[in-house]
Amino acid sequence: MAFDWGLNTLLTGGTLHLTDEAQPRVVTDGHPLYFRAAGVLAKADRLRILSEHIGARIDRLRVLITSRQERGRRPSPLLLAKLAVLQAERERVARRRTRLNAALAKAAARFMTDHAIAAGARVIYFEDLRDIQARGKGRTLNTRLSQTVRGAIVTHLRHQAAAHGIAVVIVPPRGTSKYCPRCLTAFRHHKASGDRAAGWAWATCPNTACGYSTGRDNAAWQRIGARGLAHQHKTSLDRSSSTFVIRSVVEALDRASTVQHQTRDRTKSGPTAKRPVPGKRRRAPAPPDNRAPTRARPGGQRPAGRTPTHPTHRSRRCPRQQGPNTIGTPARHQPDGARLGAGFHRHAHTTPVRRRPWPSHPPARSRAPGITQETQAD
């Protein structure tokens, strides 16, 4: 598996493998995986701004206290009290930032590990962004890029993946977002798929024979995985960080990746499942047509529209004041929790794990390690 770093979409990745041909090809299934944590990152950014604001006020109070002491005057008790309150508030905000970043790092590492286990992957490729220089994108965006907890995510990923026998390899990031993963032609980057103005979010291949168009991060993870598979022989262990790294790459060895769509066999091999019977089917015969005429009610038929409601005595069908000519306001849809696909945070959305079916039902595990129920029965 391979993953690429992003900003609003923190992680974008997918699965790749080499074919068993004489000239191996890099093949992907064409199903990208996303870990979107824009709300969590925005919350961390707001906490950072709040911490900086409190720090500026603390510095100002310290200047006032120092100036009074230099003039031989006692510090004001009010200034000392304000300083103590602001210091406690800054420590509280720092603890909130630490907890939020730790939860984000663990959730991102768990997301990658779960998908690697479900896909049967043996290695996870990452790009090395430890020496990245966030420049040219504006002060706000550069700050957000610098505050991302990439190091903590990689640390948690190495520990969680090692428990399942999955290696984590760091790949040089140079050129991963620049070239097309299909034909290795230099991309043209735009603002969006429908906006051809120069930007960085969308990539289009100028090669007329290819014409591949996709998101920048979606193309980058395919290039990262193809580069890692093509340079497996150059993988080494970094003694300082105990991480597998590929220190340098040879551009001549870079390979293009192709998409191999998995088609499910839909051949009918059994009887058709019974469909549910509609619950509102009429069980009684229709009434006769020669019914006795009924006396007409006074007032005639009510005009079309909503049922008028009494200002105080309202029926169960019309629980609120609603006139016949009023446009109804539907209840707002406010999903939360599991409906949003959230894990540790309601604003974190991930691609669900697609479990591959077992060829046969595995033996159930017992509480004793290394012993199954079949072994106990024998």
Is 310 within a domain?
no
Is 59 within a domain?
no
Contact (Cβ atoms closer than 8 angstroms) between residue 51 and residue 365:
no
Nearest-angstrom CA–CA distance, 62 and 57: 9
Domain count, the chain: 1
Q: Amino acid identity of 188? A: R
- Residues of the domain holding 145: 2-35+104-263
Q: Which residue has the higher pLDDT, 337 or 98?
A: 98
Nearest-angstrom CA–CA distance, 29 and 263: 11
Nearest-angstrom CA–CA distance, 299 and 252: 89
Q: Amino acid identity of 148? A: T
Q: For residue 245, give both structure tokens.
A: 């790294």
- The separation between the first and the last C-alpha atoms of the chain, rounded to the nearest angstrom, is 40
H/E stretch holding 34: strand 33-36
Band (pLDDT 50/70/90 cuts) for residue 362 is very low
What number of other Cβ atoms are within 10 A of residue 178's Cβ? Answer: 16
Q: Tally the C-alpha atoms within 13 A of residue 157's C-alpha that lie toward its C-beta.
A: 31
Nearest-angstrom CA–CA distance, 159 and 192: 37
Is 91 within a domain?
no
Q: Which residue has the higher pLDDT, 2 or 296?
A: 2
| Mean pLDDT score across all residues of the chain | 78
Is 187 within a domain?
yes
Contact (Cβ atoms closer than 8 angstroms) between residue 265 and residue 256:
no
Nearest-angstrom CA–CA distance, 232 and 244: 11
pLDDT of residue 366: 40
pLDDT of residue 172: 87
pLDDT digits (tens, 9 = 90+) for 238-280: 888 778 888 888 877 777 888 776 666 666 667 777 766 666 5
Is 153 within a domain?
yes
Is 158 within a domain?
yes
pLDDT digits (tens, 9 = 90+) for 164-178: 999 999 998 888 888
pLDDT of residue 264: 64
Is 142 within a domain?
yes
